[in-house]
Chains A and B, each alone.
Chain A
């Protein structure tokens, strides 16, 4: 839900086009004093912060998503219109940010917001750029609003802007004349239905008529009345939107051309063109993209392992410390094996999330992302994805969690959803330990055509994951219905150096969103899994008489075989037998739902190996394991391939499901994703086992 500011505190909205430098200004004005929430109904970040105007005056600042006009074409873009027309708290003031080098095309929305009757300040951003001469006073005269030249980069004009905000909040300007005069047709319709519409301004009423269909604050009976009037008067919404837009442009364009002088090719355009010649080259550009992604990938693997190992080691030390202090018992077990282990499972993802978003942030900030998106748009659109999906698909090779979190800026809901659903098919780093321990049982060492056989098999597993992701996308494209039309129409901004502050905020925000948003679910599931693996019916007083011959190395605790997880693993044996799995694998599949790499740890526990990092011992024990009846090897080629394929496809990651729940705002999609992936895993493993055995 949206966070409403304290009662009595004034609300200032930061609005503007994408690429206007709005977010940089927001970070500059609020500092760390910001909060990221969600707009109801959509997953668009709602950033609010406290802006200190003076020692005694503080206001709430809301950073509205970048928009071009009050006529949105996707569900995500609608939040801007809703904020002005139907939100609970109306803004007291709007600060409109515009990039001065693109002024002519960034003023349309300003005139629309002004016509809604809100006091507006125009903040002309990037005035420190070379080759720009601007007469701010002429703009102030024309629009009849205060104009403040600023620079989000150097902090120039920020004090003046704050003063202007404080001043305008204290003395709101008197009622202003509408910038756009409604046509006769528009006047007719707003007068017919306007009396019932809550908006105070005529333009607000007109927009309500345009968007009545999806504006929640308009009641059903009002909606039918508007619909009827639209039909009776033959009001054409699209035609109206276009003539309104043209009329606004024809009014402000001459004024801007007069008051702004831009040197030809200035403001970084020449350099941008030079870089684009290479970066957007049909062949070299694609090569360059994969090179960048490879570097990011390497960085995640190389840099994340150090903090990840550190986190795991520290938490293990902490856990054994707690165990030493507290007496033995279920409370200690709950704390150490349940709670601390669960927390470790959350914190351990932070390095990967932080590193990935740091790089995505840089690519976004410098303006490269728009280029990458435009390059992959065509090929990915054919299979129901979006140009932006490429980032999620590639990052999915490291970890699906930050990859899914990075889909937020895909504005088409269907394309975004498909990206979220198929990304976990890409083999992530957590599958590597499983592949590594099993692959030797499926493929013997040796070379084929000079290549290491096991390496080829590993590559094959990765390729299967990629093919599955792309095919699933293609199928989902046919199944999922959507009313949103898909567009590319994307500005390619000039290249700019990244702003360090923006990057830090992005990394901080995404990490926090993961820990708070998905952390609770992960913690809960890991507690349940801990309980299932540590306790059995005996502990709860059932079957006291039955004896287990197997002795766990960890004295005094229920061996995993007779725990609930063990019983569950054994009871699903009939279901997994056609895949070639025995009850031990059943237990491992159940426990590794927490995370795939838990498979290795569970195998260590089952085969009573104390140190679960001792992969060689685990592999030896697994290799020695024989069927008690037939004496055949358990990990034969058929079973191992079946198990490998199962881990390629199956949704064995509670953290991913928790993130999908957070990003789609319902349990429906993670449930569908689980059914799709694990269902495919079951079928494929069945086929593989039946063919090979």
Chain B
């Protein structure tokens, strides 16, 4: 899979932050904001479903031994993601 960077912040340089936090790192009831997506196809689909950079993302629960993750987006709707889908969402606090 070709990995391309999609940044919410245009000045963001790819590869600078190697310890970037991912949506899959959130624990239940923790929340953050989306910074960027690392997989273009997943990004396209997530964005069409209303999940964009800067969106508020809250982990609701982990199921199936942490392989299926449930998130609430912008306090409005819930979505189920596979772990390998959530791992492509880079988040930042605040």
Which size class do A's interface residues fall under? 35 or more
User: Which single member of B4, B40, B49, B70 contacts A105 (CB below 8 Å)?
Assistant: B49
B87 close to chain A: CB less than 8 A: no
Q: Which of A133-141, A487-495, A507-515, A585-593 contacts B (4 or more CB under 8 A)?
A: A487-495
Write out the residue numbers on chain A whose beta carbons fall within 8 Å of the beta carbon of B82.
377-378, 381, 487-489
- Taking A374-B70, A375-B64, A375-B68 as contacts, is the C-beta distance between A488 and B80 under 8 angstroms? yes
Measured between beta carbons, the chain B residues less than 8 angstroms from A280 are 61, 63, 70
CB pair B68 A488 closer than 8 Å: yes
Chain B nearest CB, measured from A550 CB (Å): 60
CB neighbours (8 Å) of B77 from chain A are 102, 105, 491-493
Q: Which residues of B contact A490 (CB under 8 A)?
A: 79-80
The reply to whether A285 and B44 form a contact with Cβ atoms under 8 Å apart is no
B90 to chain A, nearest CB (A): 15
Q: Is the Cβ of A73 less than 8 Å from the Cβ of B64? A: no
Inter-chain contacts of A71 with B (CB < 8 A) = 44, 48
Q: Is A69 interfacial (CB-CB < 8 Å)? A: yes
Contacts of A442-499 to chain B: CB distance below 8 A: 485, 487-493
Q: Is B47 an interface residue (CB 8 A)?
A: yes
Whether A492 contacts B70 by the Cβ 8 Å rule is yes
A306 at interface by CB-CB < 8 Å: no
Task: Report the interface size for chain B: residues with CB under 8 A from the other chain.
Answer: 35
**CB contact between B47 and one of A102, A249, A374 (< 8 Å): that residue:** A249
Mask, B56-94, CB within 8 Å of A = 1, is 000011111101101000111111111001000000000
B42 is an interface residue with CB less than 8 A from chain A: yes
> Which of A243-266 touch B at CB < 8 Å?
245-246, 249, 262, 264-265
Interface of A is mostly: helix
CB atoms of A491 and B67 under 8 A apart: no
Q: Which residues of A contact B51 (CB under 8 A)?
A: 105
Among the 9-residue stretches A234-242, A395-403, A608-616, the one with 4 or more Cβ atoms under 8 Å from chain B is A234-242
Q: For residue A106, which residues in chain B have a CB less than 8 angstroms away from its CB?
A: 50
Assembly CA distance A517 to B21 (angstroms)? 52
Check B41–A374 contact: CB distance below 8 A: no
| Residues in A whose Cβ lies below 8 Å from that of B70 | 280, 374, 492
Give min CB distance, A323 to chain B, whole Å.
58
Distance (whole angstroms) from the CB of B80 to the closest CB of chain A: 4
CB–CB B64/A488 < 8 A: no
Whether the pair A489, B43 counts as a contact (CB closer than 8 A) is no
CB-CB < 8 A to B79: which residues of A? 489-492
CB pair A242–B50 under 8 Å, yes or no, is no
Contact B48 A379 (CB under 8 A): no
Measured between alpha carbons, how far is A381 from B67 in the docked complex, in Å?
Answer: 11
* Chain B neighbourhood of A379, CB < 8 A: 64
Is the Cβ of A245 less than 8 Å from the Cβ of B64? no
B10 to chain A minimum Cβ distance, whole angstroms, is: 11
Asked if B76 contacts A375 (CB within 8 A), the reply is: no
With a cutoff of 8 Å between Cβ atoms, the chain A residues found around residue B49 in the complex are: 68, 105, 489, 491
Give min CB distance, B29 to chain A, whole Å. Answer: 12
Which of B40, B44, B63 is close to A374, meaning CB atoms less than 8 Å apart? Answer: B63
CB contacts (< 8 Å) of B43 on chain A: these are: 242
Query: Which residues of the other chain, B, contact A487 by a CB distance below 8 angstroms?
Result: 42, 45, 82, 85
Nearest Cβ on chain A to B76's Cβ, whole angstroms: 7
- Inter-chain CA distance A348–B80, complex, in Å, is 39
Write out the residue numbers on chain A whose beta carbons fall within 8 Å of the beta carbon of B44.
69, 71, 73, 238, 241-242, 245
Task: List A residues 280-334 near B (Cβ within 8 Å).
Answer: 280, 282, 285
Q: Closest approach, in angstroms, between the C-beta of A262 and any C-beta of chain B?
A: 8
Give complex CA distance A73, B76 in Å: 25
Q: Which residue of B lies closest to A267 (CB)?
A: B76
Partner of A485, one of B41, B53, B65, B68: B41
**A370-B80, A488-B81 known; A68-B45 Cβ under 8 A:** yes
A27 to chain B minimum Cβ distance, whole angstroms, is 24
Contacts of B62 in A (CB 8 A): 282
Contact B42 A378 (CB under 8 A): no
Q: Find chain B residues with CB under 8 A from A485 CB.
A: 41
The answer to whether B47 and A242 touch across the interface, beta carbons within 8 angstroms, is: yes
Given A242-B43, A246-B47, A375-B68: A492 touches B80 (CB 8 Å cut-off): yes
Contact, CB under 8 Å: B48 / A491: no
- Asked if A364 is at the interface of the complex by the 8 Å CB criterion, the answer is no
Assess whether A104 is interfacial by the CB under 8 Å rule. Answer: yes
A131–B76 alpha-carbon span in the complex (Å):
13
Q: Which of A94-111 contact B (CB under 8 A)?
A: 101-102, 104-106, 108-109
Q: List chain B residues, Cβ under 8 A from A492.
A: 70, 77-80
Q: Is the beta-carbon distance between A378 and B64 smaller than 8 angstroms?
A: yes
> Contact at A488–B85, with CB atoms within 8 Å?
yes
B23 → chain A closest CB, angstroms: 12
- Closest Cβ neighbor of B84 among chain A residues: A488
Cα–Cα, bound, A377→B67 (Å):
9
B40-A104 in contact (CB<8A): no
Q: Cα distance A249–B40 when bound, in Å?
A: 17
| Chain B residues with CB under 8 A of A108 | 48, 50
Chain A positions within 8 Å of B80 at CB level: 370, 373-374, 377, 488-492
The reply to whether A242 and B61 contact each other, CB–CB distance below 8 Å, is: no
Evaluate whether A377 and B64 lie within 8 angstroms (CB atoms) in the complex, with A249-B52, A490-B79, A492-B70 already known. Answer: yes
Cα distance A492–B79 in the bound complex, in angstroms: 5
Q: Cα distance A378–B81 when bound, in Å?
A: 10
B39 CB to closest chain A CB (Å) equals 10
Q: Most chain-B Cβ atoms within 10 A of its Cβ — which of A102, A239, A491?
A: A491
B42 touches A489 (CB 8 A): yes
Cβ B63 vs Cβ A245 within 8 A: no
**Closest A-chain residue to B49, C-beta based?**
A68
Residue in B41, B46, B81, B85 whose beta carbon sits within 8 Å of that of A238 in the complex: B41
CB of A246 within 8 A of CB of B52, answer yes
- CB neighbors of B among A217-247 (8 A): 238-239, 241-242, 245-246
Q: Is A242 a contact partner of B40 (Cβ separation < 8 A)?
A: yes
Q: How far is the CA of A241 from the CA of B47 in the complex (A)?
A: 10
Taken together as a complex, chains A and B put the C-alpha atoms of A280 and B61 apart, in Å, by 9
- Most B CB contacts (10 A, CB to CB) among A73, A101, A272, A489 go to A489
A: residues with CB less than 8 A from B are: 68-69, 71, 73, 101-102, 104-106, 108-109, 238-239, 241-242, 245-246, 249, 262, 264-265, 272, 276, 280, 282, 285, 370, 373-375, 377-379, 381, 485, 487-493
Q: What are 25 of the A-B contact pairs (CB < 8 Å)?
A: A69-B48, A73-B45, A108-B48, A249-B47, A265-B75, A276-B78, A280-B61, A280-B70, A282-B62, A370-B80, A375-B63, A378-B82, A485-B41, A487-B42, A487-B45, A487-B85, A488-B81, A488-B85, A489-B79, A489-B82, A489-B85, A491-B79, A492-B70, A492-B77, A492-B79
Give 9 A-B pairs besides A108-B50, A489-B82 with Cβ atoms closer than 8 angstroms: A108-B48, A246-B53, A282-B61, A370-B80, A378-B82, A379-B64, A487-B85, A491-B79, A492-B70
Rank and list the top 10 A-B pairs by shortest CB-CB distance, nearest first. Answer: A105-B50, A374-B80, A69-B48, A68-B48, A378-B67, A492-B78, A378-B64, A238-B40, A488-B82, A245-B47
